[in-house]
Structure 1
Amino acid sequence: MSCVSDDGIELWQKSLKSSTREVTSSAEATQIERRPVSTEDARPPRSVFALNWPDDRDTLPLIAPEKSDYELVMEQTMSPPGREVIRTVRRHGPWEFTEETTGKLRTIHVIHDFGQVRSTYETDDSGARQSLWIDIRVRTPAEQERIDAHFWAALPRPLIPDRTDTVLGENCRWFDLMPAMAGGRTSSCLTKDGIALKERHFCDNSLTSEWTAIHITRHPITIDEIKPPAELLSPQIWAIE
């Protein structure tokens, strides 16, 4: 919800919870100055496209030896006829690359476990570029402490009663991935080394989507296989230069 002036300036905005219309966040303009603005002042700095990817010399946070790198392909089992949705996941240490495709529609997410870097790229139904979102955060020690506390509080918990499944000849156990979330829930059937072979999303106890693994390989993944394609981070294709 926004309030916009006659000449298109947003003066305030609010985000509301859909179920209760409760305000979850808001912002209000404190100063407005109408003046000529140069193109350079309006463009994002080129540095935002230079994500800080580790290379082979970097030391990644310690990962338990059973948490191997892997590549996983999943299929959405509730897709409408003729609208097959495929998800590809590649995991390397704390980094995860996820790509979902439906025809020419394409979405890419790259995240770091503790949220220092997140990026999302989307196309429209024709395959044309639609949006690129980059979030790079440098947190204070106090902020990181709060995040760490939330991370441990929100660790997956086994479903009750205990449930298991078998996919592609591998056994997995069902977990609630969002135990601290109200109104929505994601459950996954995880292997002993933490790979989701099935995944279900719920909203108010109604199943909204379901995914099942159709291919899985455990092998070393390089950071280049995690990065979005280089051309997506080029300022030129987004008319920044």
Structure 2
Amino acid sequence: MRMRPAVAVTFLTATLSASMLPATAQAADRTAADDTTFSNVVVNGGKDIVLGLTTRKTVTITWTAHDPQGVAASWAYPWHGPNTDDADGVFPLPAGACVVSPADPTTSTCKVSLGVDAARDFDHNGLAGAWKVLAGAQDTTDEWTEIDEAGTANFKRYAEVTVNASPEPVKKGRTITVTGRLTRANWDTGTYTGYQDRPVQLQFRKKGSSVYTTLKTVTSGVGGKLKTTTKAKADGYFRFVFAGTPTTGPATATGDFVDVR
């Protein structure tokens, strides 16, 4: 993923049409068309992009391009690294689409969809976290510009958490032991590995209710293991809930029912 992709763009008329940016323009310095501006750059509807080991999904980028001369073409893609020339993560894009505002021919709303394949695109854990979004445009006088940090996107490692409450059944007032494990996708090794030293909530939902209540917070141990105790008060479901981190998505275990007699 080191190389910079050929950038896909869309040329605008009263209707939609798509074409690739000429190779000479791809190699040009980003010094022209300084009056082009970009706004409302949104990736995946503003939601985190959470990937396991083999996750495949389509991610959409939307943005607005504005130029006093009119926008002839525009493009956008996420990248990761110290700068675009030394990026360790970047996505080649298919052709997108832009629509010229009938009320304002200098403004275009744009949308592009890219295919994300975790097994192909994410080969090390350092790619988890915030990515920047490059946005570019060519105006109707053939001048063009690119803004390396026009927006952001969050790519996160998928996490899982399990739960087991025992004994089952149990007498009211007795101690219930709740165990589980917090793991997350390890892109370095291609496996799921334990996530240690993370706060995880133990929650309980009484039978017949739809609401979970947090009982306590437990810290995951070696290998992501979770273990705590609580008192048996009523029939209901126990679960562990992990809120996530800047590099890892949230996880919620399926509730484990305990019969209290």
TM-score (norm 2): 0.21
Greater strand proportion: 2
TM-score (norm 1): 0.22
Larger radius of gyration: 2
